[in-house]
Amino acid sequence: MPDRIVVPTGDGNLLSGMWKGWRDLKGIGLIDRMPKIDCAQSEGSAAISNSVRKIRQSSAAEVDWSNISVDQVEANTIADSISVNRPRDGLAAVQAIIESGGQTVTLAEEEILAAIPEMARRSGVFPEPAAAAPWAAVKKMVRDKMIDADELVVCLVSGSGLKDIGSARQIAPEPLVIDPTIDAVRAALK
């Protein structure tokens, strides 16, 4: 059972749907505790993160969800799968983050792009920019001491890097071209 699940978030559907699923599992007694659901968003598309911050900074002891709305942003990010002006399921996602005790992390474009080759090298997973956002968020959360050392954290990787080769090429070195011989392979590996 994970302590946290870090979700790339645009419209909020994945995050809020996951929260509903965990609540259902707890409701029928299959789990005894709930994970925290963390939201990873680009700084250029942070409508849900902005709303969570606004609620947490308010002095209200209890949230009146009937008076909460998610403000629209002018989304602009390389992570096009999470680039959203007005989140379709934003309110449910905001509620899931708050109810679960999760965090919101907004990421610079450079942080998202840097996570792509790092994930590929360390795990063999080639993510699109949106799918790299959770790993970038975990690194930021560790740096900012938002994650305890003993927590089990799951990063949801939601899309293949093959969906957005152009972004990966911005940060990847040029491929090494060699002759199709075993000697050329050995020389390249030296």
pLDDT tens-digit readout, 58-101: 877 788 888 889 999 999 999 999 999 999 999 999 999 999 99
CA triple 4-103-82, angle to 5 deg = 95
C-alpha closest to that of 135 among 43, 40, 62: 40
**Per-residue pLDDT at 62:** 87
**Per-residue pLDDT at 160:** 76
Q: Are 87 and 7 in contact (CB under 8 A)?
A: no
Q: Which two tokens stand for residue 124?
A: 């063999």
Cα→Cα distances 43→4, 53, 66, Å = 21, 13, 27
* pLDDT tens-digit readout, 19-35: 999 999 999 999 999 99
Rounded to two decimals, what is the model's pTM?
Answer: 0.86
Cα→Cα distances 112→31, 57, 127, 146, 174, Å = 33, 26, 10, 18, 20
Going along the chain from its start, the domains and CATH numbers come out as 4-189 (3.40.50.1100)
- Reported in sequence order, the residue ranges of the chain that DSSP labels E, i.e. its strands, are 4-8, 36-42, 104-107, 153-155
* pLDDT tens-digit readout, 176-187: 899 999 999 999
In DSSP notation, 143-162 reads HTT-S-TT--EEE---SBGG
Measured between alpha carbons, how far is 72 from 50 in angstroms, rounded to an integer? 10
Q: Are 124 and 161 in contact (CB under 8 A)?
A: no
**Per-residue pLDDT at 7:** 98
User: How many other C-beta atoms can be found within 10 angstroms of the C-beta atom of residue 42?
Assistant: 29
**Per-residue pLDDT at 170:** 73
